[in-house]
Amino acid sequence: MPTADLADGAATDRVIRRAARVVAIGVRSQPRLFAIAVAGSVLYGVMTAGMAQAVGWVTANQITPAIADGHLTGRRALIIGATIGSVVLLTTIGVLLRRIGGGFTVFNVGAEYRRLVTRQYLRLPLAWHHRHPSGQLLSNAHADVEATWGIFMPLPMALGVIVMLIAGLIQMLLIDPVLALVGMVIFPLLFAVNAAFQRRMSARVTKAQQLRAEVAEVAHESFEGALLVKVMGREARETERFAEVSDRLRVAAIAAGRTRGTFDPIIEAIPTFGTLAVLGIGVGRVASGAVTTAELVQLAYLISVLAFPVRALGWVLGEVPRTLVGWERVNAVLSAQGSMGHGPTRLAGQTPGARLRLEGVGYDYALAQGEYSAPSVIPALEDITLDVPAGRTVAIVGPTGAGKSTLSALLIRLMDPTSGRVLLDGTDLRDLAPGALADQAALVPQGTFIFDDTIRGNVTLGAEVPDETVWRALRTAHADGFVAYLPDGLDTTVGERGATLSGGQRQRLALARALVRQPRLLVLDDATSAVDPTVEQAILAALGAGTGGMTVLVVAYRMSTIALADEVVFLDQGRLVDRGTHAELLARCQGYTDLVTAYAREAAERAAVASDEEQVDDAAIAAGGER
């Protein structure tokens, strides 16, 4: 045997074994439903093969005598109808059990694995999500799960019709071994054609499945950036970008369809040729008296019927490439490492504010460069050591890319530091029990997300919170005024992403969402950038800054906001450059001074230019000229 053939055979065996392991996982998930589907399929297979026996019996014992007598009696008609009808009824029951059991198996195991994938997404740290586009994650949870377990639709059929195949072959051999051998020639031929079909289809289906994930990624990104695309007038480019990846999927799907279109007629034609061969040779066998006409009819019927089990096995083999590709992508999520461990500790929280300490904290972003390439590492923070007493308000200041948002994420453990540790009331965040940190700390990020829900739903997020507590949080966030003027107050639906609210209103609503939980540590990552400066100052004052209230860390840019802080931390290029009061940093840190006074200098320069232009105009008027 040629080496290439041996290699192809070994590869096929490996594929079948891998597919069998995936199927075993699904069967263990839904054993009863799968058993019902297989039992129905077995009943269907037995009755389908039994139909040939029934047809042969009816032909020999009822139809042939009726033809000989020249008329059909009512009794004979009743026997024929009852015999065929009973087989059809049992066959129908088998079909119903197979389809209902198989359908429930597919949908139940699919739902289970969508839940598993979603729970894994929630369990994995933010660092893992940074390396995986959200469109790909949507594809993993939907298209890939669907592809993995789609094999369970044809699988019960294939397992059941094996019984049909065995029963039919036995009947054929008992009727006439010679004609049986003639008819059985088609089966090796069908298996060979199906094997060639699967080899050609595997690569094409794999490519198409991967391209479906790419289309999902581009589509999700396009939907998320729809406003930006419209504002920048890039609709045509975005349409072209989506069309490019869609066209690649179209080409891949057409290639798979062309392959199926080539093989399907061949596979359908082979049983027909087998039936014709049996009938051609069978006529001579009937003439010689070796078989009866009824036996020839029964055998020809069996040949045509038994081609179906081979096709059913082909359908299963056709699903194998999609199943393996889908499982590899789903399993890559389920087996992903980097989960954030927890300890048993829960903080007592005796004081309104929490003490925060960072010891040598560093963080590196690992961004994936491709499916098979190693991720690149981008340092974001390095050796940050900081002690924040309980009840203090600290402003985090730094130029773009200094690591402020990364630091904010570390403080509430959206991700763990690459080096060092973050302590809350002297306890490492990694030692806290699940949910313990959420009871103590809250983050209001830069990007404000508002659900398509009511004001109450957006503030409480489904928690049982009295309306008095909701209104108190809204007052602290200076959002009670506009909420009171809404048509239904707390029950007003704000639309998708808060479409009916202004940017400042959305930020204040997000702040109220954090405050309603009464955190001891509040981290504001530029969370009031769309709020008027006077309102922002009032909000910070209401948070109890400097009065022994909650501990507040605010990423700030405005001079007025920074001046309200008890202490200022200046970051630059991921390092803590200096810390102190606003006045102290202005006096000794040039980088800080240049940053916080940039807006004031720009305003002064504009005023100076305007003054110079005004002086030129005055001089021109005095000289009697015109500008």
CB–CB of 435/608 below 8 Å? no
> What is the mean pLDDT, run by run of 10 residues, along the chain of 627 residues?
44 70 85 88 80 76 78 80 86 87 87 88 76 74 81 80 75 77 74 73 72 74 68 73 83 80 74 75 78 75 68 70 80 76 75 85 72 64 88 86 86 86 87 83 81 82 82 84 82 77 81 85 77 71 60 82 84 88 86 78 56 49 45
Alpha helices per DSSP H over 429-491:
455-460, 467-476, 480-484
Nearest to 132 by CA among 211, 124, 448: 124
For residue 570, the surrounding DSSP H or E stretch is: strand 567-572
Give the pairing of strands 393-397 and 441-444.
unpaired
Cα-Cα-Cα-Cα dihedral sign, residues 165, 166, 167, 169: positive
504: its two tokens: 């400042």
Tell me the residue type at 6: L
Q: What does the alpha-carbon distance between residue 110 and residue 172 come to, in Å, rounded to a whole number?
A: 41
Q: Which pLDDT score is estimated for 604?
A: 58
Give the CATH superfamily of 389-417+431-585: P-loop containing nucleotide triphosphate hydrolases (3.40.50.300)
Is 1.10.10.10 the CATH number for 17-334?
A: no
Q: Which residues pair with 365 in a beta bridge?
A: 378
CB–CB of 33/101 below 8 Å? yes
Q: Which pLDDT score is estimated for 4?
A: 42
Burial 127-158 (b: 16+ CB within 10 A, else e): bbeeebbebbbbbbbebbbbbbbbbbbbbbbb
Q: What does the alpha-carbon distance between residue 280 and residue 327 come to, in Å, rounded to a whole number?
A: 48
CB–CB of 163/45 below 8 Å? yes
Burial class (CB within 10 angstroms; exposed 0-12, middle 13-18, buried 19+) of 422:
buried
Phi, psi of 443 (to 5 degrees): -125, 135
**Residue whose structure tokens are 């088609």:** 186
State the maximum Cα–Cα separation within the chain, in Å, rounded to a whole number: 134
For residue 173, the surrounding DSSP H or E stretch is: helix 155-175
Q: What does the alpha-carbon distance between residue 105 and residue 100 come to, in Å, rounded to a whole number?
A: 8
CA 452 to chain centre: 21
Nearest to 176 by CA among 273, 289, 290, 64: 290
**Extents of the domains making up the chain:** 17-334, 389-417+431-585, 597-627
DSSP 373: S
The string of DSSP letters for 92-145 reads HHHHHHHHHHHHHHHHHHHHHHHHHHHHHHHHS-HHHHHTS-HHHHHHIIIIIH
